[in-house]
Structure 1
Amino acid sequence: MQEKFKSSIAIGIAVVLAAYVLGSAFKKRNESQDTISVVGLGSKDFVSDEILWSGSFTTKSFEIKEAYSKIISDQKIVEQFFLSKGFKRTEFSFGAVKFDKKFREIRIQGENNYDTKYEQVFDGYEAVQTITFSAKKNPDLMKRIEAVSSKTSELINSGIELSSNSIQYTYSDLPSLKHSLIQSASKDAKERAEKIVEAGNGDLGKLKSASMGVFQITGQGSTEEDTYGGINDTYSKNKTARITVRLEYELE
Protein backbone atom coordinates (compact mmCIF):
# COMPACT_ATOMS: atom_id res chain seq x y z
CA MET A 1 0.00 0.00 0.00
CA GLN A 2 2.82 2.32 0.97
CA GLU A 3 4.68 1.43 -2.24
CA LYS A 4 1.61 2.27 -4.34
CA PHE A 5 1.29 5.61 -2.51
CA LYS A 6 4.91 6.48 -3.24
CA SER A 7 4.46 5.48 -6.86
CA SER A 8 1.39 7.71 -7.19
CA ILE A 9 3.29 10.67 -5.74
CA ALA A 10 6.17 10.08 -8.18
CA ILE A 11 3.79 9.90 -11.13
CA GLY A 12 2.03 13.07 -9.98
CA ILE A 13 5.30 14.97 -9.66
CA ALA A 14 6.35 13.77 -13.14
CA VAL A 15 3.08 14.96 -14.62
CA VAL A 16 3.44 18.37 -12.98
CA LEU A 17 7.04 18.72 -14.20
CA ALA A 18 6.06 17.67 -17.71
CA ALA A 19 3.23 20.18 -17.76
CA TYR A 20 5.59 22.92 -16.55
CA VAL A 21 8.17 22.12 -19.20
CA LEU A 22 5.61 21.97 -21.99
CA GLY A 23 3.91 25.12 -20.76
CA SER A 24 7.20 27.02 -20.65
CA ALA A 25 8.09 25.86 -24.15
CA PHE A 26 4.69 26.88 -25.47
CA LYS A 27 4.96 30.25 -23.75
CA LYS A 28 8.40 30.90 -25.21
CA ARG A 29 7.21 29.84 -28.65
CA ASN A 30 4.31 32.27 -28.49
CA GLU A 31 6.54 35.03 -27.19
CA SER A 32 8.87 34.54 -30.16
CA GLN A 33 5.89 34.82 -32.49
CA ASP A 34 4.45 37.96 -30.88
CA THR A 35 5.84 40.14 -33.65
CA ILE A 36 4.68 41.41 -37.00
CA SER A 37 6.89 41.99 -40.04
CA VAL A 38 5.77 44.30 -42.85
CA VAL A 39 7.30 45.73 -46.02
CA GLY A 40 6.75 49.32 -47.08
CA LEU A 41 7.38 50.88 -50.48
CA GLY A 42 8.73 54.31 -51.30
CA SER A 43 8.41 55.40 -54.93
CA LYS A 44 8.85 58.66 -56.82
CA ASP A 45 8.86 59.79 -60.45
CA PHE A 46 11.49 62.35 -61.39
CA VAL A 47 13.16 63.94 -64.42
CA SER A 48 16.91 63.68 -65.01
CA ASP A 49 18.85 66.94 -64.73
CA GLU A 50 22.18 65.68 -66.12
CA ILE A 51 23.04 64.53 -69.63
CA LEU A 52 26.11 62.98 -71.21
CA TRP A 53 26.55 62.33 -74.91
CA SER A 54 29.65 61.44 -76.89
CA GLY A 55 30.71 60.37 -80.35
CA SER A 56 33.88 59.47 -82.20
CA PHE A 57 35.34 59.68 -85.69
CA THR A 58 38.32 57.95 -87.26
CA THR A 59 40.85 58.26 -90.03
CA LYS A 60 43.46 55.88 -91.38
CA SER A 61 46.89 56.08 -93.01
CA PHE A 62 50.00 53.97 -93.38
CA GLU A 63 52.01 56.84 -91.92
CA ILE A 64 51.26 57.78 -88.31
CA LYS A 65 52.08 61.45 -88.92
CA GLU A 66 49.66 61.56 -91.81
CA ALA A 67 46.96 59.85 -89.75
CA TYR A 68 47.44 62.47 -87.04
CA SER A 69 47.35 65.31 -89.55
CA LYS A 70 44.09 63.97 -91.03
CA ILE A 71 42.38 63.55 -87.65
CA ILE A 72 43.30 67.11 -86.62
CA SER A 73 41.93 68.40 -89.93
CA ASP A 74 38.69 66.44 -89.38
CA GLN A 75 38.51 67.73 -85.82
CA LYS A 76 38.37 71.31 -87.10
CA ILE A 77 35.51 70.38 -89.44
CA VAL A 78 33.60 68.67 -86.62
CA GLU A 79 34.20 71.64 -84.31
CA GLN A 80 32.87 74.06 -86.92
CA PHE A 81 29.82 71.85 -87.45
CA PHE A 82 28.76 72.04 -83.80
CA LEU A 83 29.55 75.76 -83.59
CA SER A 84 27.21 76.26 -86.55
CA LYS A 85 24.51 74.47 -84.57
CA GLY A 86 24.67 77.12 -81.85
CA PHE A 87 27.08 75.51 -79.39
CA LYS A 88 29.84 77.44 -77.66
CA ARG A 89 33.35 76.01 -77.71
CA THR A 90 33.18 75.58 -73.92
CA GLU A 91 30.10 73.35 -74.21
CA PHE A 92 31.94 70.37 -75.72
CA SER A 93 35.40 68.87 -75.50
CA PHE A 94 37.70 66.66 -77.58
CA GLY A 95 39.58 63.78 -76.05
CA ALA A 96 43.18 62.79 -76.73
CA VAL A 97 43.81 61.22 -80.13
CA LYS A 98 44.29 57.46 -79.88
CA PHE A 99 46.22 55.39 -82.41
CA ASP A 100 45.77 51.72 -83.21
CA LYS A 101 47.81 49.54 -85.56
CA LYS A 102 45.49 47.71 -87.95
CA PHE A 103 46.23 44.37 -89.59
CA ARG A 104 44.53 42.30 -92.25
CA GLU A 105 44.76 38.61 -92.94
CA ILE A 106 46.09 37.34 -96.27
CA ARG A 107 46.05 33.84 -97.65
CA ILE A 108 49.21 32.32 -99.08
CA GLN A 109 48.61 29.33 -101.31
CA GLY A 110 51.36 26.70 -101.54
CA GLU A 111 52.34 24.73 -104.63
CA ASN A 112 49.70 22.38 -106.00
CA ASN A 113 47.16 23.93 -103.58
CA TYR A 114 48.96 22.40 -100.58
CA ASP A 115 50.33 24.05 -97.46
CA THR A 116 47.92 26.98 -97.42
CA LYS A 117 48.99 29.63 -94.89
CA TYR A 118 47.47 32.76 -93.43
CA GLU A 119 49.46 35.76 -92.37
CA GLN A 120 48.68 39.06 -90.66
CA VAL A 121 50.04 42.05 -92.55
CA PHE A 122 50.16 45.67 -91.44
CA ASP A 123 47.26 47.67 -92.82
CA GLY A 124 47.97 51.16 -91.51
CA TYR A 125 47.39 53.35 -88.47
CA GLU A 126 43.88 54.19 -87.32
CA ALA A 127 43.50 57.46 -85.44
CA VAL A 128 40.41 57.87 -83.22
CA GLN A 129 39.10 61.15 -81.85
CA THR A 130 36.21 61.50 -79.35
CA ILE A 131 33.95 64.46 -78.69
CA THR A 132 31.87 64.79 -75.52
CA PHE A 133 28.92 66.97 -74.50
CA SER A 134 27.60 67.22 -70.95
CA ALA A 135 25.18 69.42 -69.03
CA LYS A 136 24.07 69.64 -65.42
CA LYS A 137 20.97 71.53 -64.30
CA ASN A 138 20.92 73.35 -67.63
CA PRO A 139 17.63 72.55 -69.44
CA ASP A 140 18.47 74.67 -72.50
CA LEU A 141 21.81 72.96 -73.11
CA MET A 142 20.25 69.56 -72.51
CA LYS A 143 17.64 70.23 -75.20
CA ARG A 144 20.28 71.36 -77.68
CA ILE A 145 22.38 68.25 -77.05
CA GLU A 146 19.34 66.02 -77.52
CA ALA A 147 18.49 67.79 -80.79
CA VAL A 148 21.97 67.69 -82.34
CA SER A 149 22.62 64.05 -81.41
CA SER A 150 20.31 62.96 -84.22
CA LYS A 151 21.81 65.31 -86.84
CA THR A 152 25.41 64.11 -86.94
CA SER A 153 24.79 62.28 -90.22
CA GLU A 154 25.08 65.70 -91.86
CA LEU A 155 28.84 65.42 -91.34
CA ILE A 156 28.95 62.73 -94.04
CA ASN A 157 28.69 65.54 -96.57
CA SER A 158 32.11 66.64 -95.29
CA GLY A 159 33.53 63.13 -95.56
CA ILE A 160 33.31 62.42 -91.82
CA GLU A 161 31.31 59.62 -90.26
CA LEU A 162 30.69 60.35 -86.60
CA SER A 163 29.78 57.27 -84.58
CA SER A 164 27.27 58.38 -81.95
CA ASN A 165 26.88 56.77 -78.52
CA SER A 166 23.56 56.60 -76.68
CA ILE A 167 22.64 59.58 -74.54
CA GLN A 168 23.00 58.92 -70.82
CA TYR A 169 20.68 60.61 -68.32
CA THR A 170 21.48 60.90 -64.61
CA TYR A 171 20.30 62.86 -61.57
CA SER A 172 22.48 65.22 -59.54
CA ASP A 173 20.91 64.76 -56.09
CA LEU A 174 20.44 61.02 -55.62
CA PRO A 175 21.36 61.05 -51.88
CA SER A 176 18.46 63.39 -51.02
CA LEU A 177 16.12 61.40 -53.23
CA LYS A 178 17.14 58.16 -51.54
CA HIS A 179 16.65 59.60 -48.05
CA SER A 180 13.16 60.84 -48.89
CA LEU A 181 12.24 57.41 -50.28
CA ILE A 182 13.47 55.67 -47.12
CA GLN A 183 11.25 57.95 -45.04
CA SER A 184 8.30 57.31 -47.34
CA ALA A 185 8.82 53.52 -47.31
CA SER A 186 9.18 53.46 -43.50
CA LYS A 187 5.95 55.44 -43.10
CA ASP A 188 4.17 53.11 -45.51
CA ALA A 189 5.40 50.04 -43.61
CA LYS A 190 4.26 51.41 -40.23
CA GLU A 191 0.82 52.30 -41.59
CA ARG A 192 0.46 48.78 -43.00
CA ALA A 193 1.42 47.27 -39.64
CA GLU A 194 -1.08 49.49 -37.78
CA LYS A 195 -3.92 48.52 -40.10
CA ILE A 196 -3.15 44.80 -39.79
CA VAL A 197 -2.95 44.94 -36.00
CA GLU A 198 -6.09 47.09 -35.76
CA ALA A 199 -8.01 44.55 -37.83
CA GLY A 200 -6.97 41.85 -35.34
CA ASN A 201 -7.93 43.96 -32.31
CA GLY A 202 -4.32 44.16 -31.17
CA ASP A 203 -1.83 46.87 -30.33
CA LEU A 204 1.43 47.68 -32.06
CA GLY A 205 4.45 47.66 -29.79
CA LYS A 206 8.03 48.83 -30.10
CA LEU A 207 10.05 48.62 -33.31
CA LYS A 208 12.21 45.52 -33.06
CA SER A 209 14.26 45.68 -36.28
CA ALA A 210 14.46 47.46 -39.63
CA SER A 211 16.16 46.59 -42.90
CA MET A 212 16.34 48.32 -46.26
CA GLY A 213 15.90 46.78 -49.69
CA VAL A 214 17.80 47.59 -52.88
CA PHE A 215 17.56 51.08 -54.38
CA GLN A 216 16.14 50.77 -57.92
CA ILE A 217 15.97 53.35 -60.73
CA THR A 218 14.02 52.45 -63.88
CA GLY A 219 12.46 54.31 -66.77
CA GLN A 220 8.93 55.50 -66.07
CA GLY A 221 6.40 52.85 -67.06
CA SER A 222 9.08 50.16 -67.20
CA THR A 223 8.01 46.57 -66.53
CA GLU A 224 11.57 45.53 -65.71
CA GLU A 225 11.69 43.40 -62.58
CA ASP A 226 13.82 44.42 -59.61
CA THR A 227 17.18 42.73 -59.35
CA TYR A 228 19.26 41.73 -56.35
CA GLY A 229 22.08 44.10 -57.26
CA GLY A 230 19.75 46.97 -58.12
CA ILE A 231 18.82 48.71 -61.38
CA ASN A 232 20.22 52.08 -62.43
CA ASP A 233 18.66 53.11 -65.74
CA THR A 234 20.74 55.74 -67.59
CA TYR A 235 18.89 55.68 -70.92
CA SER A 236 15.54 57.17 -69.85
CA LYS A 237 15.14 60.88 -69.16
CA ASN A 238 11.96 60.32 -67.13
CA LYS A 239 12.65 57.84 -64.36
CA THR A 240 11.09 56.17 -61.34
CA ALA A 241 13.05 55.54 -58.15
CA ARG A 242 11.86 53.09 -55.52
CA ILE A 243 13.04 51.36 -52.41
CA THR A 244 11.54 48.93 -49.89
CA VAL A 245 11.90 48.91 -46.11
CA ARG A 246 11.09 45.93 -43.87
CA LEU A 247 10.02 46.74 -40.29
CA GLU A 248 9.45 44.25 -37.50
CA TYR A 249 7.31 45.35 -34.52
CA GLU A 250 6.49 43.74 -31.20
CA LEU A 251 2.84 43.09 -30.44
CA GLU A 252 1.24 44.14 -27.18
Structure 2
Amino acid sequence: MTSPNRVGLTTVLATAIASAAFFLTGLTVVRGLADVKNASDVINVTGSARRSITSDQAVWHFTVRSVNDQSLQAAYRSFRATQPAVEDFLKAQALSGSELRREPVTAGPEQYTVIETLNGENREVARTRYVVSETYRLQSNDIQKIQGAVSAATSAFVDASTGGVTIESSDIEYLYTRLADVRLALLKEASQDAQRRAQAIAQSAGNSVGAVKNARMGVFQITPRFETSVEDSGSYDTSSLEKDVTAVVEIDFVVR
Protein backbone atom coordinates (compact mmCIF):
# COMPACT_ATOMS: atom_id res chain seq x y z
CA MET A 1 0.00 0.00 0.00
CA THR A 2 1.37 3.41 -1.05
CA SER A 3 1.62 6.04 1.66
CA PRO A 4 -0.22 9.37 1.22
CA ASN A 5 3.09 11.26 1.58
CA ARG A 6 4.63 9.39 -1.35
CA VAL A 7 1.57 10.01 -3.54
CA GLY A 8 1.80 13.70 -2.76
CA LEU A 9 5.51 13.86 -3.62
CA THR A 10 4.92 12.12 -6.96
CA THR A 11 2.17 14.57 -7.81
CA VAL A 12 4.40 17.55 -7.00
CA LEU A 13 7.26 16.19 -9.15
CA ALA A 14 4.95 15.53 -12.09
CA THR A 15 3.52 19.01 -11.87
CA ALA A 16 7.02 20.54 -11.72
CA ILE A 17 8.20 18.59 -14.77
CA ALA A 18 5.10 19.56 -16.74
CA SER A 19 5.56 23.21 -15.82
CA ALA A 20 9.23 23.14 -16.85
CA ALA A 21 8.37 21.51 -20.18
CA PHE A 22 5.67 24.10 -20.82
CA PHE A 23 8.11 26.90 -19.94
CA LEU A 24 10.79 25.55 -22.29
CA THR A 25 8.23 25.11 -25.05
CA GLY A 26 7.19 28.68 -24.56
CA LEU A 27 10.79 29.85 -24.85
CA THR A 28 11.17 27.89 -28.08
CA VAL A 29 8.05 29.47 -29.55
CA VAL A 30 9.11 32.93 -28.49
CA ARG A 31 12.60 32.44 -29.97
CA GLY A 32 11.08 31.16 -33.20
CA LEU A 33 8.85 34.21 -33.43
CA ALA A 34 11.83 36.44 -32.75
CA ASP A 35 13.85 34.77 -35.53
CA VAL A 36 10.98 35.23 -37.96
CA LYS A 37 10.68 38.86 -36.96
CA ASN A 38 14.44 39.40 -37.40
CA ALA A 39 14.36 37.73 -40.78
CA SER A 40 11.44 39.92 -41.90
CA ASP A 41 13.33 43.04 -40.78
CA VAL A 42 15.95 42.58 -43.53
CA ILE A 43 15.53 43.36 -47.20
CA ASN A 44 17.83 41.83 -49.81
CA VAL A 45 18.49 43.81 -53.01
CA THR A 46 20.90 43.75 -55.93
CA GLY A 47 22.47 46.89 -57.33
CA SER A 48 24.43 47.35 -60.55
CA ALA A 49 26.42 50.00 -62.37
CA ARG A 50 27.88 50.20 -65.85
CA ARG A 51 30.49 52.41 -67.45
CA SER A 52 31.75 52.62 -71.02
CA ILE A 53 35.52 52.72 -71.54
CA THR A 54 37.89 52.98 -74.48
CA SER A 55 41.00 50.81 -74.43
CA ASP A 56 44.21 52.78 -73.95
CA GLN A 57 46.76 50.11 -74.87
CA ALA A 58 47.18 47.52 -77.63
CA VAL A 59 49.27 44.34 -77.73
CA TRP A 60 50.16 42.25 -80.78
CA HIS A 61 52.33 39.14 -81.14
CA PHE A 62 53.80 37.56 -84.22
CA THR A 63 56.07 34.54 -84.52
CA VAL A 64 58.62 33.72 -87.21
CA ARG A 65 58.71 29.93 -87.53
CA SER A 66 61.04 27.90 -89.74
CA VAL A 67 60.40 24.17 -90.22
CA ASN A 68 62.60 21.60 -91.99
CA ASP A 69 62.19 17.83 -92.14
CA GLN A 70 65.87 17.16 -92.82
CA SER A 71 68.00 18.95 -90.23
CA LEU A 72 68.09 21.69 -87.62
CA GLN A 73 70.86 23.43 -89.57
CA ALA A 74 68.64 23.72 -92.65
CA ALA A 75 65.78 25.10 -90.54
CA TYR A 76 68.11 27.67 -89.00
CA ARG A 77 69.43 28.80 -92.40
CA SER A 78 65.86 29.46 -93.57
CA PHE A 79 65.10 31.27 -90.34
CA ARG A 80 68.15 33.53 -90.72
CA ALA A 81 67.17 34.30 -94.30
CA THR A 82 63.94 35.94 -93.06
CA GLN A 83 65.67 38.25 -90.59
CA PRO A 84 66.39 41.16 -92.98
CA ALA A 85 62.69 41.39 -93.89
CA VAL A 86 61.64 41.24 -90.24
CA GLU A 87 64.18 43.87 -89.18
CA ASP A 88 63.17 46.20 -92.01
CA PHE A 89 59.55 45.83 -90.97
CA LEU A 90 60.26 46.59 -87.30
CA LYS A 91 62.43 49.58 -88.20
CA ALA A 92 59.63 51.01 -90.32
CA GLN A 93 57.25 50.92 -87.34
CA ALA A 94 59.46 53.34 -85.35
CA LEU A 95 58.98 51.36 -82.13
CA SER A 96 60.65 52.47 -78.92
CA GLY A 97 62.56 50.07 -76.69
CA SER A 98 59.59 49.70 -74.33
CA GLU A 99 57.19 49.00 -77.20
CA LEU A 100 59.08 46.00 -78.62
CA ARG A 101 60.07 42.82 -76.87
CA ARG A 102 61.83 39.88 -78.49
CA GLU A 103 61.51 36.44 -76.99
CA PRO A 104 64.61 34.18 -77.08
CA VAL A 105 65.03 32.10 -80.22
CA THR A 106 63.99 28.48 -79.68
CA ALA A 107 65.33 25.60 -81.76
CA GLY A 108 65.00 21.83 -81.64
CA PRO A 109 63.22 18.71 -82.89
CA GLU A 110 59.44 18.44 -82.87
CA GLN A 111 57.43 15.22 -82.98
CA TYR A 112 54.31 14.92 -85.12
CA THR A 113 52.23 12.14 -86.65
CA VAL A 114 50.96 11.43 -90.14
CA ILE A 115 48.38 8.94 -91.39
CA GLU A 116 49.74 6.33 -93.78
CA THR A 117 47.96 3.49 -95.52
CA LEU A 118 49.64 0.07 -95.40
CA ASN A 119 47.96 -3.08 -96.77
CA GLY A 120 44.67 -1.22 -96.95
CA GLU A 121 44.82 -0.07 -93.32
CA ASN A 122 45.35 3.46 -92.03
CA ARG A 123 47.82 3.92 -89.23
CA GLU A 124 49.56 6.77 -87.42
CA VAL A 125 53.28 7.09 -88.06
CA ALA A 126 55.54 9.24 -85.86
CA ARG A 127 57.80 11.69 -87.65
CA THR A 128 60.40 14.25 -86.59
CA ARG A 129 60.92 17.73 -87.94
CA TYR A 130 63.17 20.57 -86.85
CA VAL A 131 61.82 23.94 -85.83
CA VAL A 132 63.44 27.32 -85.21
CA SER A 133 61.19 30.15 -84.03
CA GLU A 134 61.14 33.56 -82.40
CA THR A 135 58.20 35.56 -81.06
CA TYR A 136 57.94 39.35 -81.09
CA ARG A 137 55.63 41.33 -78.83
CA LEU A 138 54.53 44.84 -79.79
CA GLN A 139 52.80 46.79 -77.01
CA SER A 140 52.01 50.48 -77.06
CA ASN A 141 49.65 53.15 -75.74
CA ASP A 142 49.61 54.42 -79.32
CA ILE A 143 46.89 52.08 -80.52
CA GLN A 144 46.97 53.37 -84.09
CA LYS A 145 50.67 52.48 -84.27
CA ILE A 146 49.92 48.83 -83.45
CA GLN A 147 46.97 48.73 -85.83
CA GLY A 148 49.19 50.17 -88.56
CA ALA A 149 51.87 47.55 -87.87
CA VAL A 150 49.35 44.73 -88.27
CA SER A 151 48.17 46.17 -91.58
CA ALA A 152 51.75 46.60 -92.84
CA ALA A 153 52.79 43.09 -91.81
CA THR A 154 50.70 41.42 -94.51
CA SER A 155 52.74 42.85 -97.37
CA ALA A 156 56.04 43.05 -95.45
CA PHE A 157 56.14 39.31 -94.77
CA VAL A 158 55.01 37.98 -98.16
CA ASP A 159 58.56 37.33 -99.34
CA ALA A 160 59.68 36.05 -95.95
CA SER A 161 56.96 33.40 -95.73
CA THR A 162 58.62 31.00 -98.16
CA GLY A 163 60.96 28.02 -98.02
CA GLY A 164 59.36 26.47 -94.95
CA VAL A 165 59.14 29.75 -93.06
CA THR A 166 55.79 31.03 -91.80
CA ILE A 167 54.79 34.23 -90.02
CA GLU A 168 52.09 33.47 -87.45
CA SER A 169 50.17 36.53 -86.27
CA SER A 170 47.83 36.86 -83.31
CA ASP A 171 44.82 39.14 -83.06
CA ILE A 172 45.33 42.53 -81.44
CA GLU A 173 44.57 42.57 -77.71
CA TYR A 174 42.99 45.80 -76.44
CA LEU A 175 43.63 46.61 -72.78
CA TYR A 176 42.59 49.31 -70.32
CA THR A 177 45.31 50.23 -67.83
CA ARG A 178 43.16 52.23 -65.36
CA LEU A 179 40.70 49.45 -64.67
CA ALA A 180 41.33 49.41 -60.90
CA ASP A 181 40.04 52.99 -60.57
CA VAL A 182 36.95 52.19 -62.63
CA ARG A 183 36.17 49.16 -60.48
CA LEU A 184 36.24 51.19 -57.26
CA ALA A 185 33.97 53.85 -58.72
CA LEU A 186 31.53 51.25 -60.04
CA LEU A 187 31.31 49.46 -56.67
CA LYS A 188 30.30 52.75 -55.08
CA GLU A 189 27.71 53.41 -57.78
CA ALA A 190 26.34 49.85 -57.59
CA SER A 191 25.98 50.16 -53.80
CA GLN A 192 24.10 53.44 -54.19
CA ASP A 193 21.85 51.79 -56.76
CA ALA A 194 21.11 48.95 -54.32
CA GLN A 195 20.24 51.45 -51.59
CA ARG A 196 17.83 53.32 -53.88
CA ARG A 197 16.09 50.09 -54.77
CA ALA A 198 15.82 49.07 -51.13
CA GLN A 199 14.36 52.46 -50.18
CA ALA A 200 11.77 52.24 -52.96
CA ILE A 201 10.66 48.79 -51.79
CA ALA A 202 10.61 49.72 -48.10
CA GLN A 203 8.74 53.00 -48.63
CA SER A 204 6.02 51.20 -50.57
CA ALA A 205 5.29 49.28 -47.34
CA GLY A 206 5.55 52.33 -45.11
CA ASN A 207 9.02 51.52 -43.78
CA SER A 208 12.49 52.96 -44.14
CA VAL A 209 15.94 51.49 -44.79
CA GLY A 210 18.56 51.34 -42.05
CA ALA A 211 22.11 50.08 -41.83
CA VAL A 212 23.77 47.50 -44.06
CA LYS A 213 23.71 44.05 -42.49
CA ASN A 214 25.58 42.08 -45.16
CA ALA A 215 27.17 42.97 -48.49
CA ARG A 216 28.49 40.71 -51.23
CA MET A 217 30.39 41.83 -54.31
CA GLY A 218 29.66 40.05 -57.57
CA VAL A 219 32.09 39.46 -60.43
CA PHE A 220 32.97 42.18 -62.91
CA GLN A 221 31.90 41.81 -66.52
CA ILE A 222 34.13 43.54 -69.09
CA THR A 223 32.41 43.01 -72.42
CA PRO A 224 32.41 44.51 -75.91
CA ARG A 225 30.29 47.68 -76.12
CA PHE A 226 26.55 46.88 -75.94
CA GLU A 227 27.26 43.16 -75.40
CA THR A 228 24.68 41.57 -73.07
CA SER A 229 26.17 38.12 -72.47
CA VAL A 230 27.75 37.46 -69.06
CA GLU A 231 29.77 34.67 -67.45
CA ASP A 232 29.38 33.30 -63.92
CA SER A 233 33.08 33.70 -63.21
CA GLY A 234 33.28 37.14 -64.80
CA SER A 235 34.64 38.14 -68.19
CA TYR A 236 37.47 40.29 -69.52
CA ASP A 237 37.17 41.04 -73.21
CA THR A 238 40.39 41.94 -75.02
CA SER A 239 39.08 41.76 -78.58
CA SER A 240 37.27 45.12 -78.64
CA LEU A 241 38.55 48.66 -78.52
CA GLU A 242 35.29 49.93 -76.98
CA LYS A 243 34.09 48.09 -73.89
CA ASP A 244 31.49 48.17 -71.12
CA VAL A 245 32.40 47.44 -67.50
CA THR A 246 29.59 46.23 -65.24
CA ALA A 247 29.67 45.75 -61.47
CA VAL A 248 27.04 44.01 -59.33
CA VAL A 249 26.61 44.00 -55.54
CA GLU A 250 24.10 42.21 -53.31
CA ILE A 251 23.26 43.94 -50.03
CA ASP A 252 21.06 43.12 -47.02
CA PHE A 253 19.58 46.27 -45.45
CA VAL A 254 17.90 46.49 -42.05
CA VAL A 255 14.29 47.67 -42.39
CA ARG A 256 12.96 50.05 -39.74
Distance in 2 (alpha carbons) for counterparts of 1:120 and 1:182? 55
Distance in 1 (alpha carbons) for counterparts of 2:103 and 2:32? 72
- Structure 2 counterpart SS, 1:158: coil
Map 1:75-224 → 2, pairs under 5 A: 75-84=83-92, 86-88=93-95, 90=97, 91-102=99-110, 105=114, 107=116, 113=119, 119-122=125-128, 124-135=129-140, 138=141, 141-160=142-161, 161-224=166-229
User: 1:133: how far off?
Assistant: 0.3
User: 1:89: how far off?
Assistant: 5.9
> Deviations for 1:232-252, whole angstroms, at most 9, x for unmatched residues?
111111111111111111111
Partner of 2:10: none
Moved more, 96-105 or 74-83: 96-105
- Structure 2 counterpart SS, 1:152: helix
Distance in 1 (alpha carbons) for counterparts of 2:203 and 2:186? 26
Moved more, 149-158 or 41-50: 149-158
Unmatched 5+ residue regions in structure 1?
A: 1-9
User: 1:42: how far off?
Assistant: 1.8
Partner of 2:47: 40
Partner of 1:54: 61
User: 1:73: how far off?
Assistant: 2.9
Q: Is the 8 A contact 1:106 1:120 kept in 2?
A: no
User: 1:93: how far off?
Assistant: 3.0
What is the aligned-residue identity percentage? 23
Q: What is the alpha-carbon root mean square deviation over aligned residues?
A: 3.0
1:232 to 224, 232, 236: 236
> Deviations for 1:80-132, whole angstroms, at most 9, x for unmatched residues?
02323x423633233222224245648585xxx5999864344x412122121
Q: Is the 8 A contact 1:40 1:185 kept in 2?
A: yes
Partner of 1:246: 250
Q: Is the 8 A contact 1:94 1:132 kept in 2?
A: yes
User: 1:157: how far off?
Assistant: 3.7
Distance in 2 (alpha carbons) for counterparts of 1:117 and 1:197? 72
Distance in 1 (alpha carbons) for counterparts of 2:46 and 2:56? 31
> Deviations for 1:43-95, whole angstroms, at most 9, x for unmatched residues?
111111121101112223333233223313312211202323x4236332332
> Deviations for 1:162-214, whole angstroms, at most 9, x for unmatched residues?
22101111111222111111101111111111122122211222221111111
Q: Is the 8 A contact 1:211 1:245 kept in 2?
A: yes
TM-score (norm 1): 0.78
Distance in 2 (alpha carbons) for counterparts of 1:116 and 1:34? 72
Runs (4+) off by over 6 Å = 16-21, 114-118
Cα distance change of structure 1 residues 105 and 230 upon mapping to structure 2, 3 Å threshold: closer
Cα distance change of structure 1 residues 230 and 127 upon mapping to structure 2, 3 Å threshold: same
Distance in 1 (alpha carbons) for counterparts of 2:147 and 2:33? 67
TM-score (norm 2): 0.77
Moved more, 37-46 or 86-95: 86-95
Q: Is the 8 A contact 1:106 1:121 kept in 2?
A: no
Partner of 2:9: none
Paired AA for residue 223 in structure 2: T
Partner of 2:75: 67
Cα distance change of structure 1 residues 167 and 30 upon mapping to structure 2, 3 Å threshold: same
Distance in 2 (alpha carbons) for counterparts of 1:39 and 1:126? 54
